[in-house]
């Protein structure tokens, strides 16, 4: 990762340049405080028509729809869809398994880079970003705000938190869902090493509250491909249990089981209309972010 503090510790100037023109759009109605580019559940006087309501004393006569009056001989006023700023809450898994890395970056470091990138993109267009760091519980919570000073402080906090705890992913996600009271875009970054059905129920908790949810499944290529060539001793990073195996003898069965794990997570998310993407730590972070956000922008039209 880059040297420095705050955003400079996660993103290089070259990466910031590549990310600068991207926009993180919500696919659903959101709530916020500032005028922005996202639909709001509140009705107001912006330019996008929403619906009609019967005219009542006190309503502004200039909003009377005279075409409707001509058809019905009744007074109706136009209501418009407010546009609002987006609240993005980034949820980063800091359990011990996220410390694994076979290349230049661990899963946790890659997730932090992703968080910095999405935070930068969010704040650059005056949307708000907040943070949750979780393991067996919520370890860190920072409310959403829309300044670069806030983003820098958020990332400084992220710098001093490291993966060093066991996983109770589903339980922690339920706690996050209870803490996010207003409609938002929630981005979960984790290796999802917990019961997929339990995590699915936690994601359903977010969707029940009308949050837009993105699941970024952060994995090391060795976890996906299991390309170990020699006999080795594997250690569980959360329980410290060890086992000595011949990886070549296990590769076929491992890939089958791991493939089923990935597919189950994908199907759980698809059933709730939740974006699910696998993030390989050997893919340049900015390449993944650009491809994903451009795809999301096309789908939002």
Q: pLDDT tens for residues 121-135?
A: 999 988 999 999 999
Alpha-carbon distance values, 101 to 22, 106, 133, 172 (Å):
28, 4, 19, 24
The long-range contacts involving 254-257, CB below 8 angstroms and separated by at least 24 positions, are 254/226, 255/225, 255/226
**What are the residue boundaries of the structural domains of the chain, listed by start?**
6-30+86-300, 38-84
Mean pLDDT (the chain) is 87
Residue-wise pLDDT tens digits, 184-238: 999 999 999 999 999 999 999 999 999 999 999 999 999 999 988 887 788 888 8
Mean pLDDT score, 168-192? 96
Q: Which pLDDT does position 81 carry in this prediction?
A: 43
Q: Which pLDDT does position 249 carry in this prediction?
A: 85
Residue 98, class by beta-carbon neighbours within 10 Å (0-12 exposed, 13-18 middle, 19+ buried)? buried
Which strand ranges, in their side-by-side order, compose the sheet holding 275-280? 138-145, 128-134, 87-93, 185-190, 212-219, 275-280
Percent over 90 (pLDDT), the chain: 62
Mean pLDDT score, 2-14? 86
Please give the CATH superfamily to which domain 6-30+86-300 belongs: von Willebrand factor, type A domain (3.40.50.410)
Mean pLDDT score, 71-77? 78
pLDDT of 259 strictly over 90: yes
Residue-wise pLDDT tens digits, 132-147: 999 999 999 999 999 9
Which helix (H) or strand (E) segment holds residue 122: the answer is: helix 107-124
């Amino acid at each position: 990762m880059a040297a420095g503090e705050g955003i400079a510790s996660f993103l290089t100037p070259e990466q910031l340049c590549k990310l600068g023109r991207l926009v993180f759009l919500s696919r659903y109605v959101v709530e916020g405080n500032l005028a922005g580019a996202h639909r709001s559940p509140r009705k107001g006087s912006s330019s996008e028509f929403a619906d009609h309501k019967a005219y009542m004393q006190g309503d502004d006569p200039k909003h009377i729809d005279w075409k409707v009056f001509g058809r019905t001989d009744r007074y109706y006023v136009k209501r418009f869809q407010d546009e609002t700023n987006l609240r993005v809450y980034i949820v980063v898994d800091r359990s011990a398994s996220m410390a694994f890395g076979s290349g230049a970056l661990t899963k946790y470091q890659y997730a932090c880079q992703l968080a910095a990138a999405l935070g930068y993109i969010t704040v650059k267009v005056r949307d708000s970003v907040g943070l949750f760091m979780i393991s067996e519980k919520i370890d860190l919570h920072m409310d959403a705000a829309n300044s670069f000073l806030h983003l820098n402080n958020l990332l400084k906090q992220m710098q001093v938190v490291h993966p060093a705890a066991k996983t109770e992913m589903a339980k922690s996600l339920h706690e996050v869902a209870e803490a996010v009271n207003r409609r938002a875009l929630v981005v979960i970054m984790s290796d999802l090493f917990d019961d997929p059905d339990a995590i699915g129920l936690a994601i359903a908790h977010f969707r029940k509250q009308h949050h837009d949810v993105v699941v970024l499944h952060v994995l090391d290529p060795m976890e996906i491909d299991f390309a170990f060539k020699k006999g080795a001793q594997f250690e569980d990073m959360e329980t410290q249990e060890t086992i000595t195996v011949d990886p070549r003898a296990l590769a076929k069965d491992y890939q089958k089981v791991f493939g089923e794990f990935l597919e189950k997570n994908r199907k759980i998310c698809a059933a709730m209309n939740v974006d699910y993407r696998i993030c390989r730590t050997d893919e340049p972070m900015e390449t993944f972010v650009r491809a994903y956000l451009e795809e999301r922008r096309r789908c939002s039209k």
